Structure 1
Amino acid sequence: MPARLYLDAPLSADAELALPAGAARHVQVLRLQPGEEITLFNGQGGEWRAEIVRMGRQSVEVRVTAHDPVERELPIAVTLVAGMPANDRFDWLIEKATELGAAAIEPVVCERSVLRLSGERAERKREHWQAVAVAAAEQSGRTRVPLIAPVRTLSQAAALAAADADTPNWLLSLAEAVPMARRMAQDLGGGVGRLRVYSGPEGGFSPAEETLVRGIGARAISLGTRVLRSETAPLAVLAALGLTPPSDRAS
């Protein structure tokens, strides 16, 4: 399989372009040579075949040859509103959520959050997480890259969601909740195109935070009798959505 690279740039057949530094370094690490083929994608849909035409010590130039309209995205655009776990576990969550098809990830600071970010440190982290998502999209065959939103408080994220009445909201909860399979049948039939999933940090959302999220119309769902880690629970939702045929969601 040819190397896959994400380019944040317009692509068109017969265009010749120089790869940005990171992509060029990737090609050189793989020891690819002029005449060999790579795959490019820019998040606008599908993939582009390209041929390496020139290589310098630190530069790589390619010619775009043809477009393949392939799509490998979930039929529902899922946004994860995730309480940030500590250490590097949020990197892992973003990587795996990208592989499983998340359309966007909104990092939020909650009452029980260990990781608390703001200002320039939060923006540097967001840029790092966006790079993690790009690498995971390249590896997994995604044709689109999830958008990593700026770090917000849960209340800020909920206020933004309240203005988007067309998108169903799910709350992962250990309190009274409907099993996810039943909620899928109730909420995701009839051509629903988007979904927002709220998942708490270590220790989950506080009672006040659950009340806040329920207050914007979020429906509480249960993932079963076991307690999943903060970085595991939202992935279980994405995996279930990806493995359930569209016809079953509407039944």
Structure 2
Amino acid sequence: MDDLLVSLQSREEAADVKAEIIAPLAKDGQQWDSVIDKNLGDQFTDWVGELNAGEVFEVSRWYETSSENIRNELHVFGDASEDAFCAVAYLVTENNQSERKVAFIIGKARVAPVKHHTIPKLDLMAALTGNRLKDTIMKEHSIHFHKVFMWSDSTTTIQWIRSSNEKQPTFVANRVAEILDTSTVDEWHHVECAKNPADLGTRGLSFDDIANSNWIKGPDWLLQAILLNEDNQHPVEQDMNVQVYLANEVIGVVD
């Protein structure tokens, strides 16, 4: 453990890793001087063994942007489970031929707090994480994003964000207030769980699995211009070779 923590780049990073390793032990009521459960011990040993694969793990950092792009979209997804909450972001570019490409920007996953929270609250924490990622991306990139899409598969989270003017529990109200401090209600949309790439981050992936997963590649449906269902604000299935309208504006043609 000490060798692992010393190898990290900063004290803050080491503290985060240590906290996330200890969290599962605390959830099971383990004490600092007690023998670790064999199942947890085996999981930790397997995880340490996988770290070597990280030395050859690569993610393309070229977004394939060019002067031919007429539209840049930022898509940020959040999701949560009892074990973790996470967010992942993609840049979607579209050229004058209506061809779209998806590029991974950044993803972040955190172990769920030791203190028990309901899944809706964890989903809200995932949305907040996604919003913070969005803020960082907007600050650190010189790319002009024509449209920002914030996605959650939690209808409760979307409802909380859309009803900020109503009285809410303190936990919810504080996080919704921070979210809406740097985003707008109309940027938040619902996505089906099966179409949400952030779902992968809540279950954990090995280095072998993550390289070819939708966490890195992004979901295929982002390759089509986004058509939102007006009632639920989620992407709907689209026929090929039809014009797509959003907010009374033609934003692309699906080939």
Fold match (TM-score > 0.5)? no
* Class of the TM-score when normalised by the shorter of the 2 chains: under 0.3
Report the structure, 1 or 2, having the larger helix content: 2
- TM-score using structure 1 length: 0.25
